[in-house]
Amino acid sequence: MRVFVTGATGFIGSAVVRELLSAGHEVVGLARSDEGAASLTAAGAGVHRGSLTDLGSLSSAAAAADGVVHTAYIHDFSPTGDPVAAAQVDGRAIEALGEALAGSGRPLVVASGLVVVPGRLATEEDDAPDNPLHPRVSEPAALRFAERGVRVSVVRLTPSVHGEGDYAFIPAVIGIARAKGLSAYVGDGSNRWAAVHRLDAAHLFRLALEAAPAGARLHAVGDEGVPFRDIAGVIGQHLHLPVIGVSRDEAQAHFGSFANFVSADMPASSTLTQKELGWHPVQPGLIADLDEGHYFTNQPTRHV
């Protein structure tokens, strides 16, 4: 299968590219820069130059493919980030990809995020709530093409997609611990994060491309819920820092813009996904991955 992959040089997308190539698929990846193009070529993939805002380019690449995997997103968790604008860009990109595939029966796999359900594990059957401050455009934009002749599916990713080269949430928490001189959790630290290794996630993207039915909502979940105090504990151990609980009133001063995220309870299940596609996580869980030590010695580079 000739597969067009957006986000192909990113942390998750690059693993998807390697997974697809190892399974015998031909891959063409989206690249915005010479550096990104070179990394795709080195991996054995073709290159399509463009960006998420170049809708005509996205459409032409999708039209020439047997299937599309969309992992690209403008992630900016800084205080000046604009999540509404990022969601709008994502929605328009998905529309362009879907329109190019409409009526063809070809697959479109779109990355999304987990739903948070207070007090219990989120499942694939839970609908994504509307949040005007952090809108979830990807799922509705993608799934409407299930009725337009596209075998579209959504892969919901966990708060922590971890592994060597990670430059997202866990490295940010480690950076805060280094800067503050302590590894903290909020309250008693019993709030949970679902997690998945990026290689397990990449495998699920391939299975979705090959076999997911139209309209499927899939959960890339390895660890259903890791207590955040355990995450803070491993970080403190590796950095030789004290591990301390901070109150919710103190969390903003300690974690800054990550305070709400660090204190959120976000467990989830992948039971239905595993039954649907025969997907079973086999890579190290989050705590075991942290204990391998690479998070504390490597400085990952973000490709574009």
pLDDT in the model for residue 140: 94
Confidence grade of residue 271 (pLDDT, cut at 50, 70, 90): very high
Amino acid at 277: L
pLDDT of residue 128: 79
Kindly report, residue by residue over 4-55, the tens digit of the pLDDT.
999 999 999 999 999 999 999 999 999 999 999 999 999 999 999 999 999 9
Residue 124 within a domain = yes
User: Which pLDDT score, from 0 to 100, does residue 299 have?
Assistant: 53
Q: Does residue 294 fall inside a structural domain?
A: no
Q: Which residues contact 38 (CB under 8 A, 6 or more apart)?
A: none
If one counts the domains in the chain, the total is 1
Does residue 71 lie in a domain region? yes
Residue 93 is given by DSSP the state H
pLDDT at 166: 93
For residues 100-118, average pLDDT: 96
Contact call for residues 235 and 290 (beta carbons, < 8 A): yes
Q: What CATH number is given to the structural domain containing 114?
A: 3.40.50.720
Distance CA 105, CA 114 (A): 26
What was the pLDDT predicted at 298?
63
In this prediction, residue 74 carries a pLDDT of 77
What number is the average pLDDT over the span 71-94?
Answer: 82
pLDDT digits (tens, 9 = 90+) for 53-81: 999 999 999 999 999 999 998 776 566 56
For residue 79, tell me if it sits in a domain.
Answer: yes
215 or 118: which carries more pLDDT confidence?
215
Residue 86, both tokens:
């990022």
In which domain, by residue range, is 31 found? 2-168+194-224+268-283
What residue type is assigned to position 290 of the chain? L
Say how many C-beta atoms besides its own lie within 10 A of residue 179's C-beta.
Answer: 10
Q: What is the mean pLDDT of the chain?
A: 93
Residue 203 pLDDT exceeds 60 = yes
The per-residue pLDDT for 79 is 63
pLDDT surpassing 50 at residue 138: yes
pLDDT at 301: 45
pTM of the model: 0.94
User: Who's near 80: CB < 8 A, 6+ residues apart?
Assistant: none
Q: Is 128 inside a domain boundary?
A: yes
pLDDT at 236: 98
Q: Is residue 258 part of a domain?
A: no
Tell me, yes or no, whether 275 lies in a domain. yes
Q: Report if residue 274 sits inside a domain.
A: yes
Question: When comparing pLDDT for 210 and 119, which is higher?
Answer: 210
Per the CB < 8 A criterion, the answer to whether 69 and 209 are in contact is: yes
